[in-house]
Amino acid sequence: IGIIGNVQQRTFEVTHDNIANRIGFSAGACS
């Protein structure tokens, strides 16, 4: 398996939507 680690998640708001089964990214959400 590959793994997306937390360095590559920094500053995005990463959304885990377990209802709609989707993962979201919103750029520039925190410094």
Instruction: Give the residues lining the site for other proteins (CB under 8 A).
Output: 1-31
Q: What is the nearest approach in angstroms of other proteins to the Cβ of residue 4?
A: 4
Q: Which residues of 1-31 are buried (b: 16+ CB within 10 A; e: fewer)?
A: eeeeeeeeeeeeeeeeeeeeeeeeeeeeeee
**Cα 23 from Cα 17, distance rounded (Å):** 6
Q: What is the nearest approach in angstroms of other proteins to the Cβ of residue 6?
A: 6
Q: What is the nearest approach in angstroms of other proteins to the Cβ of residue 23?
A: 5
